[in-house]
Amino acid sequence: MYSEDEFLPLSTIQHFIFCKRQCALIHIEQLWSENVLTAQGRMMHENVNEEHVEKRKDIRIERGVAIHSFELGLSGKADVVEFHRLKNGTWIPFPVEYKRGKPKVDDCDKVQLCAQVICLEEMMNINIPNSAIFYGKTRRRLDVQVDESLRQKTKEAAKQLHSFIQAGVTPPPVYSPKCESCSFVDECLPKILGRKTSVKEYLRRLISQE
């Protein structure tokens, strides 16, 4: 269990899985760089996170819900929490995370959503089996089942995240195609700093060309 003083922003866990160097630049070095994509994402979240309650028959929608978990050591806001009324009259939370782009090849978005689920479960003493991510680019919801595998991955990621932030070391860049859309590409320089050619290898090539 963590104390409130040890809480990290909930979004940090998504950054950590997506790219550890990006996570370090933002949360260790306290840098921020914005491009068109991040600006669109920020505006999308600002619009969604305006706190208010909406009712639609058997669904109550709450936006910008403040959440936290002492188990994960995370706190933040859930974009949208839909409360679905069951046949027995009870209400079950159904969190919906909003993302600007499209589904990713890794589980970073799902882990962030699962962290929200764990926060709500801890706060409300309830089990939440299902959730969803709305992607702005596809204009579709991706249903996410919060199974035991995803829960364990999220808890382990949170544990590693706290150790990572506490260590305070920014890892070197590793270039991949996702770097091209990252707002930190100019600060990170993954194509240049990520090269693994050693001095010994460089000298060997230089000598062979003579």
DSSP string spanning the chain?
A: ---GGG-EETTHHHHHHH-HHHHHHHHTS------HHHHHHHHHHHHHTS--EEEETTEEEEEEEEEEETTTTEEEEEEEEEEEEPTTS-EEEEEEEEESS---SSSHHHHHHHHHHHHHHHHHT----EEEEEETTTTEEEEEE--HHHHHHHHHHHHHHHHHHHHT-PPPP---GGGGG-TTHHHH-HHHHT----HHHHHHHHHHT-
Task: Look up residue 61 and give its amino acid.
Answer: I
Mean pLDDT of the chain: 85
List the end-to-end C-alpha distance of the chain, in Å, as a whole number: 62
Quote the pLDDT of residue 57: 83
Quote the pLDDT of residue 195: 57
Quote the pLDDT of residue 197: 47
Taking only the tens place, the pLDDT of each residue in 145-189 is 999 999 999 999 999 999 999 999 999 888 888 877 777 777 777
- Residue ranges in the chain modelled with pLDDT below 70: 32-53, 192-210
Quote the pLDDT of residue 133: 97
Residue 78's region, left for phi above 0, alpha for psi from -120 to 50, else beta, is beta
Taking only the tens place, the pLDDT of each residue in 62-77 is 999 999 999 999 999 9
Quote the pLDDT of residue 35: 46
